[in-house]
């Protein structure tokens, strides 16, 4: 019996190794557990994504996610937020270094099951649906939903009163479900808090129903909170189903932080300690703690989002390093993807034009499938799907690969048209000169085909540069992602938009020039004959 179990464990470890999980560590855990099972029940923690045994990588969507985890507007490149502070406290208490990993909201849970990081904290509500997908810690924050109105509105202070009015909220939240149950036709769901509050201000919405922390932090001068608290929302830290060990460890630390008042202090600094939290933790003390983090944020926002020239210059200069790093990411991903697209595209085109039947057929199938499915799906499939087959790529490699392979299909068709445009007699002349098929292709056919495809290639490359914005869904912060982050943090869509647009043009320029040069050189080849 024991041997059977051991064999199963080993087989499982083999499987886990293939899928990239840390099978060896798991095996060691098990051996360790077996060895000292009665005496010491504590097994070493499995921390997915950790680079060493002190690392604790945790993920959140830090784009415009005030006051949870967000880019500190006062210090670009630094993260802050009450969840950020909480994770620092938890990590320290566990003797580890908390390391923030950025991931888009939709990718947070898939990334968890891909073992990109150990846990996710991002105001995730502990709903039955979520509980089916992940393991939750105990709640670290309980709050309520609140109604937000323009200052000049009155009356709409209960769910009942909201009936018949257009109400906005954030998608897949408790607030959204409440609204849908009540008056489904008038609900507008948003991805981003910034857009949501803009639309209330500019009159597209009559009211907002949203978690109280968000309401507090996004409340501008011309808006107000009204009515009594609605519902109850509990946030939990999410872990993968297969890691109860880490969940239990974090849970116990979380309990300590509640008991010794650390959580209370953190929340008070963010102006987020509420009667609900007092009830939940049973901590009815009143600490004399100034809401310093809250005050700092409000001050900085007033200073940064000011419309004086000085404030604007200060703001845009502080954006430059971020825009630059976004531009480098866009350029890097695009340039490498183009190289890949040209190489694979040429191989596909040659296979389709001159290959044997099965090869021709396969190349054709590839082109049709890749052209016929959205690039976004391909990016997600390669990054989150392929690990199931044992292929784990870094976000950068996955971005380059998916963009490159996608554009290879378009290039293949372009090159095939080019190859077909070369007269048959050219191949015959080359063969008659005793060249092999490969020599004929390389020396005679491909160079001539290339001349006709350069203008189309230029177009494709500019399109690719812009499509590279899609890799932002797999945690790469390129130009578009930078735009979303900056514009939504500072409510400034025009200024940052112009900056990012300019950056795209500057990045694209070298490619346009390169294509021009290629065209010119080809032109000169023909022109040379004139004199």
Partner 1 sequence: MLRATDIAKSFGGNEILRGISLDVERGELISIIGPSGCGKSTFLRCLNFLEHPDAGEVRVEDVTVTSTGQWNRTDEARAHRLRGHVGMVFQSFNLFPHRTVLENVMLAPMQVKRMDEGRAHKIASELLEKVGLVAVKNRYPDRLSGGQQQRAAIARALAMKPSVMLYDEPTSALDPELSEEVLSVMRALDAEGMTQLVVTHDMRFARAASDRVLFMEAGQIVESGDPDVMFANPREPGTRRFLRTLL
Site for partner 1, rule CB under 8 A:
423, 425-426, 428-436, 439, 443-444, 447-448, 451, 525-526, 528-530
Min. distance of Cβ 429 from partner 1 in angstroms? 4
Cis before residue 121, ω within 30 degrees of 0?
no
How buried is 287 (Cβ within 10 angstroms: 0-12 exposed, 13-18 middle, 19+ buried)? exposed
Mapped onto helix, strand or coil, the DSSP state of residue 486 is: helix
Min. distance of Cβ 119 from partner 1 in angstroms? 59
Within 8 A by CB and 6+ apart from 157, the residues are 147, 149, 226, 227, 228
**Tokens encoding 337:** 């993807």
> Of 37 and 432, which CB lies nearer to partner 1 in the complex structure?
432
Min. distance of Cβ 408 from partner 1 in angstroms? 25
Please tell me the distance from the alpha carbon of residue 440 to that of residue 222, in angstroms, as a whole number: 73
Mapped onto helix, strand or coil, the DSSP state of residue 136 is: strand
Min. distance of Cβ 447 from partner 1 in angstroms? 5
> Of 259 and 439, which CB lies nearer to partner 1 in the complex structure?
439
Min. distance of Cβ 350 from partner 1 in angstroms? 18
- Half-sphere exposure in the Cβ direction for 413 (13 Å, CA): 14
Min. distance of Cβ 480 from partner 1 in angstroms? 40
> Of 306 and 447, which CB lies nearer to partner 1 in the complex structure?
447
> Of 386 and 522, which CB lies nearer to partner 1 in the complex structure?
522
How buried is 146 (Cβ within 10 angstroms: 0-12 exposed, 13-18 middle, 19+ buried)? buried
> Of 369 and 443, which CB lies nearer to partner 1 in the complex structure?
443
Min. distance of Cβ 356 from partner 1 in angstroms? 12
Min. distance of Cβ 355 from partner 1 in angstroms? 15
Give buried/exposed letters for 389-405 (b at 16+ CB in 10 A, else e): eeebbebbebbbbbbbb
Mapped onto helix, strand or coil, the DSSP state of residue 290 is: coil
Closest C-alpha to 26, from 39, 18, 17, 35 = 17
Please tell me the distance from the alpha carbon of residue 128 to that of residue 92, in angstroms, as a whole number: 31
> Of 354 and 396, which CB lies nearer to partner 1 in the complex structure?
354
Contact indicator for 169, 237 with CB cutoff of 8 Å: no
> Of 95 and 425, which CB lies nearer to partner 1 in the complex structure?
425
Instruction: Give the DSSP H/E element, type plus range, for residue 77.
Output: none
> Of 2 and 528, which CB lies nearer to partner 1 in the complex structure?
528
């Amino acid at each position: 019996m024991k041997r059977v179990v051991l064999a199963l464990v080993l087989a499982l470890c083999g499987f886990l190794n293939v899928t990239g999980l840390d099978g060896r560590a798991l095996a060691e855990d098990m051996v360790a557990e077996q060895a000292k099972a009665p005496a010491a029940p504590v097994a070493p923690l499995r921390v997915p994504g950790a680079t060493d045994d002190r690392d604790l990588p945790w993920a959140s969507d830090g784009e415009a996610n005030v006051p949870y985890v967000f880019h500190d507007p006062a210090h670009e490149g630094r993260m802050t937020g009450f969840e950020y502070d909480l994770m620092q406290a938890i990590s320290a208490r566990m003797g580890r270094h908390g390391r923030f990993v950025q991931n888009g909201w939709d990718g947070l849970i898939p990334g968890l099951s891909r073992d990109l990081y150990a846990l996710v904290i991002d105001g995730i509500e502990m709903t039955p649906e979520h509980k089916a997908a992940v393991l939750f810690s105990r709640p670290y924050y309980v709050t309520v939903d609140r109604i937000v109105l323009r200052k000049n509105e009155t009356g709409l202070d209960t769910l009942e009163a909201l009936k018949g009015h257009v109400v906005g909220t954030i998608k897949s939240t408790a607030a959204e479900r409440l609204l849908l149950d009540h008056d489904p036709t008038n609900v507008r769901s948003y991805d981003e808090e910034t857009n949501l509050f803009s639309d209330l201000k500019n009159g597209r919405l009559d009211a907002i129903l949203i978690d109280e922390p968000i309401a507090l932090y996004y409340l501008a001068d011309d808006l107000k909170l009204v009515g009594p608290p609605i519902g109850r929302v509990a946030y939990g830290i999410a872990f993968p189903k297969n890691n109860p060990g880490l969940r239990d460890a974090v849970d116990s630390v979380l309990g300590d932080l509640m008991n010794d008042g650390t959580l209370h202090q953190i929340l008070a600094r963010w102006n987020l300690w509420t009667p609900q939290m007092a009830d939940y933790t049973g901590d009815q003390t009143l600490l004399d703690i100034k809401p310093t983090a809250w005050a700092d944020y409000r001050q900085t926002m007033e200073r940064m989002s000011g419309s004086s020239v000085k404030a604007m210059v200060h703001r845009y200069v502080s954006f430059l390093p971020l825009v630059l790093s976004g531009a480098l990411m866009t350029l890097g991903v695009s340039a490498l993807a183009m190289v890949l697209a040209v190489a694979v595209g040429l191989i596909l085109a040659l296979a389709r034009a001159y290959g044997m039947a099965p090869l021709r057929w396969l190349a054709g199938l590839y082109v049709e499938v890749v052209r016929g499915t959205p690039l976004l799906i391909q990016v997600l499939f390669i990054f989150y799907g392929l690990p199931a087959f044992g292929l784990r790529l870094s976000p950068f490699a996955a971005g380059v690969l998916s963009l490159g392979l996608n554009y290879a299909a378009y290039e293949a068709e372009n090159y095939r048209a080019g190859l077909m445009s070369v007269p048959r007699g050219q191949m015959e002349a080359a063969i008659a000169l005793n060249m092999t098929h490969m020599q004929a292709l390389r020396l005679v056919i491909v160079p001539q085909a290339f001349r006709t495809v350069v203008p189309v290639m230029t177009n494709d490359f500019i399109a690719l540069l812009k499509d590279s914005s899609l890799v932002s869904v797999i945690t790469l912060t390129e130009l578009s992602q930078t735009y979303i982050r900056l514009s939504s943090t500072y409510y400034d869509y025009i200024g940052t938009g112009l900056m990012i647009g300019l950056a795209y043009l500057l990045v694209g320029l070298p490619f346009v020039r390169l294509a021009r040069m290629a065209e010119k050189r080809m032109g000169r080849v023909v022109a040379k004959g004139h004199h």
